Amino acid sequence: MELSFKEFLQSGKDQLQRAGFAGVEAEHLLAHTLGISRMELHNPVTVAQALEGIGDTKIVEETFWSLLDRRCTHEPLQYLTGRAYFRHLELQVGPGVLVPRPESELLVESVLTHIETLSGEVSVVDLGSGSGALALAIATEAPQTHVIAVEKSPEAVTWLKANVSFIDEKVRIIEADVATALDGVKCDVVIANPPYVPDGQALPKDVARHEPAVALFGGEDGMSSPIIFIETATRLLKSGGFLAIEHHESQGEKIQRILSENFTDILLHNDLNNRPRFTTAKRR
């Protein structure tokens, strides 16, 4: 490297900041290039060992600059590093699967709070599991649960299988359409994160250009998929069973109206930005 290591990293931060991104993302990309953690990036001994292990600093430079260029075209940081963090989990993600959102952590918290009120083994179905973030968070934080993850997208299932294999092999994967999955099965809890974005809504470039549209958009008003997911939850849940469904901030009243036919104790919950984000209810 012609520049010192600190100058090299700073030049990466400068490039990202000029493009409108947080400079700290350069640390994630350089740590990924070196095969170390972001915290280890600030340990000179660890960095020197990583560089020695790679051998050719030109490889580090070329890889790092390539990742920076891709980030500047709005490729998600998580796709570039292959990692996404959700609650206590480190998940593998990439093209074909949604990046887990912090807002969904609150939904998981609500489900875990409900599970604490139950005794014995608790059966949980995660509809539209994607990377498995919600299913695996519940499975690992509530060991009394038996979790089934339902996902139909072949691309997403690849990531789901990788995460289940690495984090908790007890989670059962069902490759099926939500509308027809698990015929005849009954469970205690259903969690659902359907495609709910209205078709015409503009999204950040990272999302619009790279994340799978099939997992984002739910029809003209965004309600086509949520309706199907609610119908399936109604079929799957035992009497008294618990549903937690994520939805668009504009859909709270519509969700409540649909749920009122078969559910009680319907509660609308806000996300980290104090916007309506998910609803919980109990099956009659």
44-87 residue pLDDT tens: 999 999 999 998 889 999 999 999 999 999 999 999 999 999 99
Report the alpha-carbon distance of residue 108 to residue 87 in Å, rounded: 9
Q: How many domains does the chain have?
A: 2
Let me know whether 262 and 156 are in one domain: yes
Is this structure's pTM higher than 0.75? yes
Residue 82 dihedral angles phi and psi, to the nearest 5°: 75, 10
Let me know whether 175 and 51 are in one domain: no
How close are the terminal C-alpha atoms of the chain, in Å? 66
The encoded tokens of residue 32 equal 């990924």
CATH number at residue 187: 3.40.50.150
Residue 22 lies in domain: 5-73
Let me know whether 167 and 54 are in one domain: no
Let me know whether 66 and 162 are in one domain: no
Residue 31 within a domain: yes
For the stretch 160-190, pLDDT in tens is 999 999 999 999 999 999 999 999 999 999 9
Report the alpha-carbon distance of residue 138 to residue 126 in Å, rounded: 10
* Coil, helix or strand at residue 231: helix
Let me know whether 69 and 102 are in one domain: no
Residue 85 within a domain: no
